[in-house]
Every structure is written in structure tokens, then in C-alpha cells.
Amino acid sequence: MTELLKNFVSGRWQAGTGAGTPLFDPVLGTDLVRVDSTGLDLPAAFAFAREQGGAALRALSYRERGALLAAMVKVLQANRDAYDQIATANSGTVKNDSAVDIDGGIYTLATYAKLGETLGQTSGNGRFLVDGEAARLSKDGGFQSQHLLVPTQGVALFINAFNFPSWGLWEKAGPALLSGVPVIVKPATATAWLTQRMVQDVVDAGILPPGALSVICGSSAGLLDPLQPFDVVSFTGSAETAALIRSHPAIVQRSVRVNIEADSLNSALLLPDHAPGSEAFELLVKEVAREMTQKSGQKCTAIRRVLVPEALYGAAAEAISARLAKTRVGNPRNESVRMGALVSRAQLAAVREGLATLKTQTAVLHDGATHSIVDADPAVACCVGPTLLGARDPDAAPLVHDVEVFGPVATLLPYRDLAHALQLVQRGQGSLVASLYGSRPAELAHAAVELAAWHGRVHAVSPDVAAQHTGHGNVMPQSLHGGPGRAGGGEELGGLRALNFYHRRAAIQAGSAVLAALAG
Ligand code: NAP
């Protein structure tokens, strides 16, 4: 039997009482470890975090909590090699793709540690955040209204997706812990090992007060039941699970605040008049191929729809396909391999099914099936080559605007003019990110504003930033992550904006002397 990973709740490591669910190596098919949450006293675990963890965190200032994050960063950096090995084994990712998750998570945590330093002066006594200027309520200004943000006195429950076991934890935990709110993380079962190991390292280092960080691995059964009015839930995953969470009685009846990051049909748009050979054209081609293959396309922000002017459809298909053809797919332990595996047999089946669905309304421009699988048994490894589809009449292909295939798959769509292109992008019903490729600042700015209403982030790429831009799919802690509509309607990151979710806003109406006393 493989090792059974323990849960850390109520300040203790606790094994589930069931047989456990095995986690697999998606390349070799071998069993790795097991997870189980059967028999945990969840109400007690939530109460412990809320009462002990919350009180201890709130007793510190923002600056002091920022210092805790900085200490956590050091511990995670020191153990990085172990995380890399777990990612290779459990996520089947090549080194660069594992780094997106591991280093991306650590970088995001480090960013919030630094932001904590900036809150020392501006926050009231280090215990709350001042929100805007005081407003006069009386004629002479003797009685005023000052808005404050105070840390919510509950737990932050994170329910995470399988594709970012590191980043998914730290991009949420950084803002929550900095805010003074204790964290309980429930990673997706398939890749729970990395999350569990990182939490273990932080716990063992004794940096955080008891109850500040808990991890529950395994089934989500009963997980939402102990939620109380001041708790918050941050969910990342499928739209189906999101709908279950939104409608859960504990959330509906107790007004528990929920943030949802769900699926998304992100677009890349080449603006008109950029012929093959132009820098903008080449930048689009490069980014599309990169986005399709990074983490085998298992990124919520990956490009799913590629829009180009009608006249460039053939040239774009050829150029993207030529890049994809060079991608070596297979065992991430083989140095020549650039793209590893999907995370599980279930994901492999879902990608194949999604591809079959999209193929009913599209043509295959580059077929992933033509890629041989390097250094792995194709009957066992969850590996697929990248596939570029194309819909010559994108108005008549509703599925490409609706079906998210969570793998190395994108669809090329020709447009007549910019208005048509924007209309097609909007058919995604709200996405996390759209990227624009062009060379004229005014046109890029115009299109960016047009797309802003439908996206949490618009990424404009022009030749002058070719070597500097951070990538369509890379989520930077300085920028908002989340999208309206189908993308879940959530907001994460965006620098200090992320702290809003973990705070409660209140207006303090009082005389000037009281407001002066507030500021300390
Ligand atoms: P999922 O099946 O919805 O699972 C997400 C999480 O929810 C897992 O931890 C899962 O636990 C848990 N869960 C399942 N049923 C639940 C329930 N009834 N109550 C509470 N929790 C429950 O999604 P996934 O397959 O892991 O992730 C893929 C999807 O996530 C894609 O659609 C992708 O677009 C989206 N995604 C979005 C973002 C973003 O930031 N917007 C980022 C990454 C992924 P178990 O694993 O134990 O079932």
C-alpha cells in the first residue's frame, strides 16, 4: 500500500479513517500516495481555525503578517526540489511547466509579503484599512462618515482545481493571511500531494500560529456544511461544481461570500493589416503555440479561440501548425520532451470527448494524433499531441464559443472586420483574458477598451514589448485575475485589491475627535 497523506486540521495531523483514494503518475500509470478525509471532525476544524487561527492572525499588524509570508517564501524556496519531483510524478509536467505552478505560487506569495510592508503606515494602527476619505455628514463637518475595511472574522475555505496545486493555494493564501484570515485549503484530489507537502513544510517550520493554515485532502463531502456567515469561500474549478457551491444551503442561507473562478474560452486576436512576416503576426503565432502546449493546455487562461482576418486564415493555420508540429510530447523525464501529460485518464477521456464534439463543427488544421509519444507507453500515458482546429464560418459554429476543451486544443476563426471579431469574442460569454496583437497603439487601446467589459484582463502585445510582455496566460499578482459571466464572475489578485474579499467594509459615523482617535 502507498503512503496515506494526512490532513492538517485543528492544529494536528490527522489521517482519514477510510481506505483512501490513490493518486497516480499520469505518465507511468503507477500509484503514488493516497488521500482521505473520512472521519474528520469538520465543524471542530472550522471552529479551531476561525477562533484560534483568526484571533492570533488578527493580533498581528499587516506588516507583521507580511513578514510571516516572507518567512513562508523562504521555506518553500528551500524545499523547491521536492516540489519539482512531486509535480513531475503527479502532474506529469515538464520542468518549465512545473515551474509555472511552483515558482508562480512562490512569487505571488512573495509579492504579497512585499505589499504587507507598504501597509504599515497607511492602515489604521495596523489593524484595519482605511477606505477612502471621510465625508461630511453635517454642515460644519463636525460629524463625518469614514469607511473602514476590517478583516472578516471567519475562515477562508479554498476549493481548488487540479491544474495548479501550488499557485492555486498561494495566490489565494497570500491575500487571505495578509488580511488576517485563516485558511483551510481543499486541493483537487488528483494532484493534492503537492499542496499537502507545501502546507506540511510551512507547518513544520512553525511560522504560522495554530489554526492559521489547514489542509483537507480527499472527498469534499460535508465540506461546506460548517460554513458560518463571516466565512468566505474561494472556488476554482468547473462551472458545474461552481453551480453546486453557489446553491449550497450553508452559502445561500448564511450569506457566505463566494468567489468563483470557472472555465473560460479565452481569445487571441490579431488586429487587421498585419500580414505574415509582420512582427504582430509572428508574435500571435508564437503565443498561440506556447499557450496551447504549456501545461498541455490545462490552464484556465489558455488561448482557446484564435481570431485572424479572413485573408490570413490559411497563413495563420500554416504558421501555427508548423510550430505545433515541432512539439515533442511524452515523458517529462526525457529532456527532449517539451509537453508532458494531461493529469489523469479522466482528463484524457474528457479532452478526447471535447475534441470529438468540436470536430462536428470544425476542420482539423493540425492533428495531435500525428505526434508520437516519446519515452512512454501510449496505452498508459495520459499524453496527447496539440490539435489546431479551424471554423471557416465561425458564426455558424456555436460549439467553439461554448465548449472548453481543457487540453492542448484551440480553434482558428477568420473574421471580416474588427466589429465582427469583437462580436465573435463576446460569444464566449465572458472570459478571463483576451490578448491583442497589433502595431498601432491607438487601435490596440481602442480594442482593449472594447474587450474590457467582457474580460478580467486584456493583454496587448505589440513589437515594442515583444521581449517584455508577461504572456497571455500568465497570471501576474499585480493584475486582476477572474472574469465576468461564464468565467465565474470572480476577482482575485490585482495587488492590494485582493484584500477586499477578506475584509468587511463598515462606515463609521462619528465626530472628528473620534475619527482622529481611529487613526491612532
Ligand atoms: P472540478 O471538478 O469542478 O473540481 C474543482 C474542485 O472542486 C476540486 O477540489 C473538487 O474536489 C471540488 N469539488 C468537486 N465536487 C464538489 C462539491 N460537490 N462540493 C465542493 N467541492 C467539490 O474542476 P477541475 O476538474 O479540478 O478543474 C478544471 C476546471 O477548472 C476547468 O474547467 C478550468 O477552466 C477551471 N479552472 C479555472 C481556473 C480559474 O482561475 N478561473 C483555474 C484553473 C482551472 P475533487 O477533486 O476531490 O473532486
pLDDT tens for 366-375 read 999 999 999 9
Give the model's confidence band at 438: pLDDT under 50 very low, under 70 low, under 90 confident, else very high: very high
Contact 502, 177 (CB under 8 A): no
**Catalytic member of 300, 383, 450, 492:** 300
Q: Which of 224, 236, 247 has most ligand 1 atoms within 8 Å of CB, for mutation? A: 236
Confidence at residue 115, expressed as pLDDT on a 0 to 100 scale: 97
**Hey, which residues does 182 pair with through a beta bridge?**
none
Q: Provide mean pLDDT across the span 20-24.
A: 97
Ligand 1 lined by 263 (C-beta under 6 Å): yes
Place of cell 465548449: 403
Give the model's confidence band at 123: pLDDT under 50 very low, under 70 low, under 90 confident, else very high: low
CA 120 – CA 8 distance, rounded (Å): 31
Q: Helix 80-91 crosses helix 95-122 at what angle (to 10 degrees)?
A: 130
Task: Tell me how far the alpha carbon of residue 109 lies from the centroid of ligand 1, in angstroms.
Answer: 22
Q: Provide mean pLDDT across the span 292-309.
A: 98
SS3 state of residue 264: coil
The closest residue, in CA terms, to atom 11 on ligand 1 is 188
Confidence at residue 291, expressed as pLDDT on a 0 to 100 scale: 98
Percent with pLDDT over 90 in the chain:
97
Q: Which of 34, 189, 300, 501 has most ligand 1 atoms within 8 Å of CB, for mutation? A: 300
CA 19 – CA 38 distance, rounded (Å): 9
Ligand 1 lined by 331 (C-beta under 6 Å): no
Ligand 1 lined by 160 (C-beta under 6 Å): yes
Convert the pLDDT of each residue in 380-399 to its tens digit: 999 999 999 999 999 999 99
Q: Provide mean pLDDT across the span 59-63.
A: 95
Would you list the DSSP string of 52-80? Answer: IIHHHHHTS-HHHHHHHHHHHHHHHHHTH
Contact 95, 158 (CB under 8 A): no
Of 59, 32, 48, which Cα lies nearest the Cα of 193?
Answer: 32
Please report the atom of ligand 1 found closest to the CA of residue 242.
3
Ligand 1 lined by 406 (C-beta under 6 Å): yes
The closest residue, in CA terms, to atom 38 on ligand 1 is 300
All three cell numbers of 506, joined, read 463598515
Ligand 1 lined by 200 (C-beta under 6 Å): no
Confirm whether 261 is a catalytic residue: yes
Convert the pLDDT of each residue in 488-513 to its tens digit: 999 999 999 999 999 999 999 999 99
Ligand 1 lined by 158 (C-beta under 6 Å): no
* Domain coordinates in residue numbering, the chain: 4-262+493-519, 266-476
Give the model's confidence band at 121: pLDDT under 50 very low, under 70 low, under 90 confident, else very high: low
Contact 519, 502 (CB under 8 A): no
Please enumerate in sequence order all residues whose Cβ is within 8 A of that of 261, keeping only pairs 6 or more positions apart, or say none: 234, 235, 236, 237, 300, 432, 481, 482, 487, 488, 490, 492
Q: Helix 80-91 crosses helix 62-78 at what angle (to 10 degrees)?
A: 70
In single-letter form, the type of residue at position 511 comes to G
Please report the atom of ligand 1 found closest to the CA of residue 186.
9
Q: Which of 216, 220, 299, 301 has most ligand 1 atoms within 8 Å of CB, for mutation? A: 220
Task: Tell me how far the alpha carbon of residue 149 lies from the centroid of ligand 1, in angstroms.
Answer: 30
Task: Tell me how far the alpha carbon of residue 13 lies from the centroid of ligand 1, in angstroms.
Answer: 25
Would you list the DSSP string of 6-20? Answer: PEEETTEEE--SS--
Q: Provide mean pLDDT across the span 104-114.
A: 98
Task: Tell me how far the alpha carbon of residue 218 lies from the centroid of ligand 1, in angstroms.
Answer: 13
Confirm whether 353 is a catalytic residue: no
Tally of CA atoms within 13 A in the half-sphere of 342 that contains its CB: 23
Fold of 4-262+493-519: Aldehyde Dehydrogenase; Chain A, domain 1 (3.40.605)
Phi-psi region of 218 (alpha: psi -120 to 50; beta: other; left: phi over 0): left
Of 362, 437, 375, which Cα lies nearest the Cα of 405?
Answer: 362
The closest residue, in CA terms, to atom 9 on ligand 1 is 188
Convert the pLDDT of each residue in 271-282 to its tens digit: 999 999 999 999
Task: Please check the confidence at residue 124 and state whether its pLDDT lies above 80.
Answer: no
Give the model's confidence band at 126: pLDDT under 50 very low, under 70 low, under 90 confident, else very high: confident
Convert the pLDDT of each residue in 167-217 to its tens digit: 999 999 999 999 999 999 999 999 999 999 999 999 999 999 999 999 999
Please report the atom of ligand 1 found closest to the CA of residue 240.
3
Place of cell 524545499: 79
Give Cα separations from 503 to 58, 199, 481 (angstroms). 12, 24, 18
Ligand 1 lined by 238 (C-beta under 6 Å): yes
Confidence at residue 519, expressed as pLDDT on a 0 to 100 scale: 76
Confidence at residue 502, expressed as pLDDT on a 0 to 100 scale: 98
Confidence at residue 125, expressed as pLDDT on a 0 to 100 scale: 65
Please report the atom of ligand 1 found closest to the CA of residue 475.
40
Ligand 1 lined by 192 (C-beta under 6 Å): no
Task: Tell me how far the alpha carbon of residue 187 lies from the centroid of ligand 1, in angstroms.
Answer: 9
Task: Please check the confidence at residue 50 and state whether its pLDDT lies above 60.
Answer: yes
Please report the atom of ligand 1 found closest to the CA of residue 238.
3
Chain centroid, CA 66 distance in Å: 22
All three cell numbers of 325, joined, read 508540429
Task: Please check the confidence at residue 120 and state whether its pLDDT lies above 80.
Answer: no
Q: Which of 238, 345, 433, 492 has most ligand 1 atoms within 8 Å of CB, for mutation? A: 238
Confidence at residue 433, expressed as pLDDT on a 0 to 100 scale: 98
Lowest pLDDT segment from 116-120, 167-171, 377-381:
116-120
Would you list the DSSP string of 202-251? Answer: HHHTT-SPTTSEEE--S--TTSSTT--TT-EEEEES-HHHHHHHHT-HHH
Q: Provide mean pLDDT across the span 467-474.
A: 97
All three cell numbers of 180, joined, read 488576517
Contact 156, 181 (CB under 8 A): yes
CA 156 – CA 230 distance, rounded (Å): 9
Ligand 1 lined by 498 (C-beta under 6 Å): no
Contact 487, 264 (CB under 8 A): yes
Burial 472-511 (b: 16+ CB within 10 A, else e): bbbbbbebbbbbbebbbbbbbbbbbebbbbbbbeeeeebe
CA 36 – CA 17 distance, rounded (Å): 7
Give the model's confidence band at 518: pLDDT under 50 very low, under 70 low, under 90 confident, else very high: confident
Task: Tell me how far the alpha carbon of residue 225 lies from the centroid of ligand 1, in angstroms.
Answer: 18
Task: Tell me how far the alpha carbon of residue 162 lies from the centroid of ligand 1, in angstroms.
Answer: 7
Task: Please check the confidence at residue 122 and state whether its pLDDT lies above 80.
Answer: no
Task: Tell me how far the alpha carbon of residue 8 lies from the centroid of ligand 1, in angstroms.
Answer: 21
Ligand 1 lined by 189 (C-beta under 6 Å): yes
CATH of 266-476, one of 2.30.30.60, 3.40.720.10, 3.40.50.880, 3.40.309.10: 3.40.309.10
Task: Tell me how far the alpha carbon of residue 286 lies from the centroid of ligand 1, in angstroms.
Answer: 29
Please enumerate in sequence order all residues whose Cβ is within 8 A of that of 119, keeping only pairs 6 or more positions apart, or say none: 61, 62, 63, 66, 126, 129, 178, 496
Contact 134, 124 (CB under 8 A): no
CA 22 – CA 58 distance, rounded (Å): 38
SS3 state of residue 303: strand
Of 315, 308, 409, which Cα lies nearest the Cα of 366?
Answer: 409
Confidence at residue 402, expressed as pLDDT on a 0 to 100 scale: 97
Please enumerate in sequence order all residues whose Cβ is within 8 A of that of 146, keeping only pairs 6 or more positions apart, or say none: 130, 134, 135, 507, 508, 510, 515, 518
Task: Tell me how far the alpha carbon of residue 130 lies from the centroid of ligand 1, in angstroms.
Answer: 35
Convert the pLDDT of each residue in 400-415 to its tens digit: 999 999 999 999 999 9
Cβ neighbours, 10 Å, residue 514 = 13
**Catalytic member of 261, 404, 491, 492:** 261
